[in-house]
């Protein structure tokens, strides 16, 4: 046998990691396989020993960007602020640092518009990944994950209404903050949204459960 199984696995992971960063930073359409392989220190031909096509890579990289194994932005931030997870998540999501480093940030604001135009398998992988992300976020929210209503279409797992609104709202704010070319306006979008979502979802008047803090 040539090389080791471990060697191939590592190369594949390197490609996947580079892709998940590049896609978020530059967009799926702007990332070329030759350039991507160059970043990993290989030539373009070798790509097809690891992935069937660019589309297959996009699908996998989407999942990776949201952090399928639980090692993602949400858990990392939450671990750093025990007892105050939700406020910490909102603060981090709507930070200048998140705005300025899309390559390691949430894939929703950077990729969702392009994913919506991608073929079915890619959209499916994205949906699965974002669903997991939403469930994770919901676990940190005051209202319990599954709401008691909606008797007609009670299916899509355990995603809470609040998590849906919070994540999509923060994603929209980050999207706008990144697009705008006036730094003062961009900062203001972050500040205003941070205050709004903290006040609405991470303080007493949330939805259920009252608690600590003034």
From a second copy, DNA, none, interface partner of 132 (C-beta below 5 to 8 A by class): none
Site string for a second copy, 140-169 (x = CB under 8 A): ----------x--x-xx--x-x--xx-xxx
Of the CA atoms within 13 Å of residue 135, those in its CB half-sphere come to 13
202 within 8 A of 123, measured Cβ to Cβ: no
Residue 121 interacts with DNA (CB under 7 A)? no
Task: Supply 125's token pair.
Answer: 């992988």
The secondary structure of 50-117 as a DSSP string is T-S-HHHHHHHHHHHHH-TTS-SHHHHHHHTSTT-HHHHHHHHHTSHHHHH-GGGS-HHHHHHHHHTT
- Footprint of DNA on residues 19-78 (CB under 7 A)? 31-35, 37, 42-50, 53-55
Task: Single out the segment in contact with a second copy by CB under 8 A; choices: 40-48, 63-71, 75-83, 107-115.
Answer: 107-115
Position 11 contacts DNA (CB under 7 A): yes
Chosen from DNA, a second copy, none, partner binding at 95 (C-beta under 5 to 8 Å by type): none
Q: Which of 9, 188, 204, 209 binds a second copy (CB under 8 A)?
A: 188
**Quick one: which of 16, 77, 111, 141 contacts a second copy (CB under 8 A)?**
111
Query: Residue count at the site for DNA (CB under 7 A)?
Result: 25
Residues with Cβ within 8 Å of 131's Cβ and at least 6 positions away in sequence, in order, are: 156, 157, 159
Task: Give the up-direction half-sphere exposure of residue 49: CA atoms within 13 A in the CB hemisphere.
Answer: 14
Interacting residues toward a second copy by CB under 8 A: 26-27, 29-30, 108-117, 120, 123-124, 126-127, 130-131, 150, 153, 155-156, 159, 161, 164-165, 167-173, 175-176, 178-182, 184-185, 188-189, 192-193, 196, 200
* Residues of the shown chain interacting with DNA in the complex, contacts defined by CB under 7 A: 1-4, 7-8, 11, 31-35, 37, 42-50, 53-55
């Amino acid at each position: 046998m040539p090389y080791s199984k471990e060697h191939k696995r590592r190369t594949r992971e390197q490609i996947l990691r580079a892709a998940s960063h590049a896609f978020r930073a530059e967009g799926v359409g702007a990332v070329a396989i030759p350039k991507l392989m160059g970043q990993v220190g290989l030539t373009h031909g070798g790509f097809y020993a690891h992935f069937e096509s660019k589309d297959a890579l996009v699908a996998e990289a989407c999942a990776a960007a949201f952090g399928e194994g639980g090692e993602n932005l949400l858990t990392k931030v939450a671990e750093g602020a025990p007892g105050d997870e939700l406020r910490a998540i909102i603060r981090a999501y709507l930070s200048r640092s998140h705005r300025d480093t899309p390559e390691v940030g949430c894939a929703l604001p950077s990729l969702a518009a392009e994913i919506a135009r991608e073929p079915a398998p890619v959209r499916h992988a994205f949906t699965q990944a974002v669903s997991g992300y939403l469930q994770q976020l919901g676990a940190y929210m005051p209202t319990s994950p599954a709401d008691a209503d909606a008797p007609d279409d009670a299916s899509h797992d355990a995603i809470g209404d609040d998590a849906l609104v919070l994540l999509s709202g923060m994603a929209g704010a980050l999207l706008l903050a990144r697009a705008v070319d006036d730094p003062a306006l961009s900062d203001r979008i972050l500040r205003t949204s941070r205050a709004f979502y903290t006040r609405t979802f991470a303080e007493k008047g949330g939805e259920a459960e009252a608690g600590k803090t003034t």
